[in-house]
Structure 1
Amino acid sequence: MTEKAAADIYLDNNATGAVARECLEAMLACLRPGIGNPSSRHAAGLRAKSFLQEARGEIAALVGARPQEIVFTSSGTEANHTAILGVLARYPHRRHIVTSTVEHPSTLMLLRHLEETGIRISRVPVDTEGRLDPEAVRAALAPDTALVTLMWANNETGVLFPIAAIAETIRASGVPFHVDAVQAAGRVAIDVTQVPVDMLSLSGHKLHGPPGAGALFVRKGFRIAPLLWGHQERRMRGGTENLPAIVGFGSACALAREDLEVQARRVRGLRDDLERGIIACFPAARIHGAGAPRLPNTSNVGFGTLDGEQIMDALDRHGVAVSLGAACAAGGREPSHVLTAMGLERRAALGAIRFSFGRYNTGACVERVLTLLPGILGEVAARAA
């Protein structure tokens, strides 16, 4: 077996980002002796609680929330499940949920399970650019709709849904609105004082924090039933909080808030340079979602009938890490549900590669990829001939 090169160029930041040095230092500070359980009332516990509350404040500030509106979870997946199941438990007489056809698997798979239990699911389609029409969301509402659950930014294409417009469109219905902002937070500006969503899911490891910490914004006055019972997190999420991961999450949010616009401009430039270079060397390439508003860091490129897995593996052998799509589904050979929902045929969807930039990528990363790609694409095409 040939040993693969170390991934010295990492362009899979939508799957997870390298933990920032600032986050590691913050985490180490709360791992020292003398830090207890945040629920304990002795001095060691109070020190832990102070770390916890400081992180809560930083996470809240990133999205314009109040600290008391942030509920810690173990991941973005748990935050999504807490929102969806928490609303259904709170309103058991409501048996209908509205979503889209391109949600993250953590949402889609839960909704598929709920459908088997008798919950009706309306999946609003997107157009060929991945855009979602707010009026189509409103039209999908029913008298017994329990929840509208949508993503802010697509994890595969980076396409941004018009969340503010959707929130205003459905506001009069009184239907609760949950948004999966795991990919959007820290990459585009979010202010829940301006966008009337009831719940918002977040995750630390998408913005250079550690894995193992997520959060759910729950607007003051909005109540859901807990997924895990216990006295922690205002009885909305039981279990001792993962203090080091949460502290790292808070540090990552502070870092993102500090230079969000600067980083957005910088990675957008890298993404655009990459896309121009790919089109120049392979004119048949298609940038999926290019006609829609997108995250500044994400590019989903279709290479026609060439096999995406072969392209990804070849880049990996040269030390470049990219993705076929959602990391949770990367082990399978089924085409991306996002791309097929956008109208791509199976073979075209299997030829797609996701490049996602982060804080530590530079122009040299783009140059290296553009140097490697012509040879790789030629080899893949020759094998297919």
Structure 2
Amino acid sequence: MSDVYLDHAATTPMTRVALDAYVQAAQLHGNAASVHRAGQKAREFLEEGRAAFAESIGAHPLTILANSGGTEGDNHVLLGAAKGRVGGHVVTSSIEHSAVLAAARELAASGFDVTFLQPDRHGHVSPDALRDALRPDTFLVSVHHANNEIGTVQDVARLAEVAHEGGALFHTDAVQSLGVLSVNVAEWNADFATFSAHKWGGPKGVGFLYVRRGLELPPLMIGGGQEKGLRAGTHNVAGVYAAGLAALDASRARPETFERMRALHARLEAHLRAAPNVTFNHPVDGSPKVLSVTASGADGEALLMNLDLMGVYASLGSACSSGTTLPSHVLKALGLGDADAKATVRFSFGRDSTLDDVDRAAEAYRQALEFSAL
């Protein structure tokens, strides 16, 4: 019997569309920056991938910067927007991905003022709270679209409106959104948005940064003229091509994927409600991709290990925080104590997750709890 993989918020397997595209483009031997025919053939594949991704988020290809993923994109926006400034104010939330939080703390250590907005108990960031936090010197607001640990979906269009009313630019980390939720950067009125291909079935180590036309960012990596001088280095043609085609495929399948995930989410939650001392952290209006469950009194690491031994793969929280003994900063912000935060498991679904996966995961969780209680 095959294992059950329910950790798609960490990474999801490459789709057949992505694999086929990657193999096709990987056989090209030209450098996309070269002017000869081999180089221009590689450039065609690169730009086709960029255009496909742009279509998937409602953007123009000229607004898309290819990079290595969400972490690079988040760093590029926060650190880049501050470059050349002497002081100023940035607003973000306390439940952002660590790529945003670490960059924000770096800014704070460099003399910038940073406000970390506190969400409500369901993880929502209030537009009114954002408005109250804005100052005349606020130059950037960064709030994610969908939370990677609890699935809360922010009203980024409203948050962007408030930021713009205050004279600030708006950035959103939308890494967990594409292929599950509706993504349209124009409708969001976002100035910057970050994406990572391995969340929608593309290859790892590839991502995209949307930069609204008319805006400029300083380069994060220098040494060449690639990506309009904003990111030096030889293009990953196969990665960009595969990521772009996979993004367009995922966006077209999104309505069906959303309904499938919603059914799986409801079924797993119904199963888990029968377990003792269990509470849920995801909001009812959140992304159906993520289910967060806390078993008070359980040893979370032992619980996860027992699930693993039974062939069920989930996580304690963000994959980027693996290896740390600290409780999740997201769950702490929701009001959970250290013990409950450490007793929380995140299940996350993919396009190919099945009802059988859910049923087997629920039974494994019930058994794992019996062995994991303190």
Q: Same fold (TM over 0.5)?
A: yes
Counterpart of 1:324, as a letter, is: L
- 2:87–2:111 Cα contact (<8 Å) kept: no
Do the aligned residues in 2 keep the contact of 1:210 with 1:249 (CA within 8 Å)? yes
TM-score normalised by L of structure 1? 0.94
Encode CA deviations 1:24-79: one digit per residue, 9 max, x unaligned. Answer: 1101111225x311111111111101101111011111110001100011111001
- Runs of 4+ displaced beyond 3 Å: none
Residue 119 of structure 1 corresponds to 112
Conserved? CA contact 1:101–1:126, under 8 Å:
yes
Structure 2 residue runs without a partner (length 5+)? none
Which residue pairs with 2:18 in the alignment? Answer: 23
| Pairing partner for 2:340 from 330, 348, 370 | 348
Q: 1:174: how far off?
A: 2.2
In 1, Cα distance between equivalents of 2:278 and 2:157: 32
Structure 1: how far apart are the matches of 2:322 and 2:197?
Answer: 21
* Aligned mate of 2:250, from 251, 256, 271: 256
Aligned pair count reads 373
- Select the residue among 363, 370, 377 that pairs with 2:355: 363
Instruction: Extract unaligned runs of 5+ from structure 1.
Output: 1-5
In the alignment, residue 331 of structure 2 is paired with which amino acid?
A: L
Residues 167 and 376 of structure 1, relative CA distance in 2, 3 Å threshold: same
Instruction: After TM superposition, give the deviation of residue 311 of structure 1 in Å.
Output: 1.0
Aligned equivalents of 2:248, 2:184: Cα separation in 1 = 15
Deviations 1:282-335 (A, max 9, x none): 1521110324x2111100111112111111110100111100001111211111
The whole-number CA distance in structure 2 between the counterparts of 1:339 and 1:69 is 35
- 1:231 aligned to 2:246? no
Contact residue 94 and residue 146 of structure 1 kept, 8 A: no
What one-letter code is carried by the residue in structure 2 that aligns with 1:181? Answer: A
Q: For 1:108-147, list aligned pairs within 5 A.
A: 108-147=101-140
Rounded to whole Å, the distance in 2 between the matches of 1:164 and 1:36 is 41
Q: Hey, what's the Cα distance between the residues in 2 that align with 1:330 and 1:7?
A: 24
For residues 76 and 332 of structure 1, the distance between their equivalents in structure 2, rounded to whole angstroms, comes to: 21
Calculate the TM-score normalised by the size of structure 2.
0.97
For residue 94 of structure 1, report the CA deviation from its aligned partner. 4.7
Corresponding residue SS for 1:246 = helix
Aligned residue number for residue 259 of structure 2: 265
Letter in structure 2 aligned against 1:238: A
Shift of 1:93: 3.6
User: Larger deviation: 228-237 or 124-133?
Assistant: 228-237
Q: Do 1:308 and 1:352's aligned partners in 2 also have CA atoms closer than 8 Å?
A: yes
Contact 2:197 2:243 in 1 (8 A): yes
Tell me by how many angstroms 1:110 deviates. Answer: 1.7
- Tell me the residue number matched to 2:146: 153
Q: 2 CA distance for matches of 1:170 and 1:140?
A: 10
1:135-158 deviation digits (Å, cap 9, x = unpaired): 111211111112101111111001
* Residues 172/94 of structure 1: CA separation in 2 closer, same or farther (3 Å cut): farther
Q: Provide the residue aligned with 1:36 in structure 2.
A: 30
**Contact 1:158-1:294 within 8 A present in 2 as well:** yes
Matched, 1:334 2:329: no
Q: For residues 69 and 14 of structure 2, what CA distance do their matches in structure 1 show?
A: 15
Q: Paired residue for 2:370?
A: 378
> What is the deviation of 1:373?
2.3
Q: 1:71 to 1:7 in 2, by over 3 A?
A: farther
Distance in 1 between the 2:327 and 2:127 partners?
A: 27
Closer, same or farther: CA 340–7 of 1 in aligned 2, 3 Å: farther
Is the contact made by 1:7 and 1:316 (CA closer than 8 Å) also made in structure 2?
A: no
Residue 3 of structure 1 corresponds to none
Match of residue 245, structure 1, among 233, 239, 244: 239
Match of 2:312 among 320, 330, 336: 320
> 1:7: how far off?
7.3
The structural deviation recorded for 1:170 is 2.2
CA distance in 2 between counterparts of 1:81 and 1:249 reads 20
List per-residue Cα deviations over 1:342-383 (Å, max 9, x = no partner): 1111111111000000012111101111222222212222xx
What is the letter of the counterpart of residue 124 of structure 1? L
User: Secondary structure of 2:135's partner?
Assistant: coil
Residue 122 of structure 1 aligns to which amino acid in structure 2? T
Corresponding residue number in structure 2 for 1:99? 92
Q: Which residue of 1 aligns with 2:197?
A: 204
- For residue 209 of structure 2, give the secondary structure of its aligned residue in structure 1: strand
Which residue is 1:178 aligned to? 171
SS of 2:59's partner is coil
Map 1:6-85 to 2 at 5 A: 8-33=3-28, 35-85=29-79
Task: Find the aligned partners of 1:367 and 1:135 in 2 and give their Cα distance.
Answer: 41
Q: Is the 8 A contact 2:303 2:371 kept in 1?
A: no
